[in-house]
A and B are shown apart, each in its own frame.
Chain A
């Protein structure tokens, strides 16, 4: 249970659960990309890259 909660509050989980669909929907809403696989894929790349960076660095903005 402790591991599940620890993961839920991690930057990677936030990227997976929130930032990924958020970026995808922003790309579509601002007409940067059309709805579909490309928007979902690029949303995943941007969100997960940021989330993994935050997880490893312990900071969402690189600097500590």
Chain B
């Protein structure tokens, strides 16, 4: 790919030339195994599990365990997200087993089964911002504050999100995957109950129960609400935006460049900033909402 992309060159191209160039540029960033995500997914889960004996044996203070556990749960989704899109290895590839291992293991702290996440996430990609068909559409809210209130209230009042996911699975003939969700949540509750009645209720609350809720809200905000806000537009170049986060790219888990992910889901998360910079003139020409990024 020797082609230099600049605003002036892009301005004079036809739509067809632009599409070809866009695919060529994106192709540079695909078919690369994200080993960092592999280490992150498995390592993060191991660190999370290790927090329990470390805190219960008094090696680590509970407050520090709470902070670390919250970080671990918040960081648990994205490696699985790479696996959901077969970025580590597609079907039939030698490393397929690793793709599936990372997918399953990394979301254990979040108590969300990989197969359910993958099935519903594909529906999100296929129908982004469609009020009827996008299982993540219920996160839409006018502002960050409205999102927070809606998200927390939805969990205290009823399982809106679970309904949306259940409906998406039923619509696509994959209701059987709900057994995974029942199994994950049954094990989670039994661990919580056992710890609580063994005298470790406060530890259970601060090492898993509360971190899971905080992380779920955080993940929903940066992966669902922020990149698709205001959630009104549909279409390849309209349903996702670039934005500048107050927490920076790391604090927003790389979601400032989520538009790249929706255009080319096989580009690894770590390469989306570089791909964005390369593709920016084309995205501007396509009329994408690139915010202040």
Query: Chain A: residues with CB nearer than 8 A to chain B?
Result: 5, 8-9, 13-14, 17-18, 20-22, 24-26, 29, 58-61, 63-64
Contact = CB atoms under 8 A, between A and B. Distances in A.
Interface in B164-198: 182, 185-186, 189, 192-193, 196-197
Contact of B204 (A9, A13, A18, A29): A18
Nearest to A59: B157
Contacts of B157: 58-61, 63-64
The B contact surface, by secondary structure, is: helix
B185 A22 contact: no
Contacts of B101: none
Contacts of A14: 189
A64 B157 CA distance: 6
Residue among A13, A21, A58, A59 facing the most chain B CB atoms (10 A cut-off):
A21
Interface string B143-160: 000000000010011100
Contacts of B293: none
B199 interface: yes
Given A59-B156, A59-B157, A17 B193 contact: yes
Nearest to B153: A61
Given A8-B189, A61-B157, A22 B201 contact: yes
B192 A25 contact: no
Contacts of B202: 22, 25-26, 29
Contact of A5 (B182, B196, B204): B182
Interface of B: 153, 156-158, 182, 185-186, 189, 192-193, 196-197, 199, 201-202, 204-205, 209
Given A17-B193, A18-B204, A29-B202, A9 B185 contact: yes
Contacts of B153: 61
A21 B193 CA distance: 9
A26 B205 CA distance: 11
A18 B196 contact: yes
Given A5-B186, A25-B199, A26-B202, A58 B158 contact: yes
A21 B156 contact: no
A21 B201 contact: yes
Contacts of A18: 189, 192-193, 196, 201, 204-205, 209
Contacts of B186: 5, 8
B205 to A, nearest CB: 6
Nearest to B183: A5
Nearest to B203: A25
Nearest to A54: B156
B156 A60 contact: yes
B204 to A, nearest CB: 7
Given A21-B201, A22-B205, A59 B158 contact: yes
Given A22-B201, A29-B202, A17 B189 contact: yes
A50 to B, nearest CB: 12
B227 to A, nearest CB: 29
A47 to B, nearest CB: 10
A29 B153 CA distance: 29
